[in-house]
């Protein structure tokens, strides 16, 4: 009996394969790395040498829209019978539009900067 108890305690005390959730700084860095690693023509977004402040703002907006898409739950109030349910045209129901718009804006800026660099490099 004591051997079984010892085994149970040893299993309970052993580290599990569970990881702690990432800190906000780690999450932002992961998103930044993903944005910089995006393929763009023959190179990546990192090759454009975009300003750090701009990249952090893009990463912040990606994290915010992801959070709202995954975790924001709006519960209908019982006191407000006139409240209508969210429809597909409701902007709160389409956070992917914000992500897509931000991504397209980033790509447009990157493409413009890349084209300007190539134009300067040509003799």
Extents of the domains making up the chain: 21-74+90-121
Higher pLDDT, 82 or 66: 66
pTM: 0.45
pLDDT at 55 over 80: yes
pLDDT at 53 over 90: yes
- Judge contact between 47 and 118, C-beta under 8 A: no
Terminal alpha carbon distance of the chain = 84
């Amino acid at each position: 009996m004591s051997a079984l108890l010892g085994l149970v305690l040893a299993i309970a005390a052993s580290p599990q394969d569970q990881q702690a959730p990432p800190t906000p700084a780690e999450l932002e860095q992961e998103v930044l790395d993903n944005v910089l690693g995006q393929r763009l023509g023959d190179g990546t977004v990192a090759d454009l040498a975009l300003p750090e402040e701009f990249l952090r703002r893009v990463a912040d907006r990606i994290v915010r829209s992801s959070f709202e898409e995954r975790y924001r739950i709006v519960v209908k109030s019982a006191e407000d019978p006139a409240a209508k349910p969210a429809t597909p045209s409701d902007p709160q129901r389409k956070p992917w539009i914000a992500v897509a718009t931000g991504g397209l804006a980033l790509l447009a800026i990157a493409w413009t900067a890349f084209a300007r660099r190539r134009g300067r490099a040509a003799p």
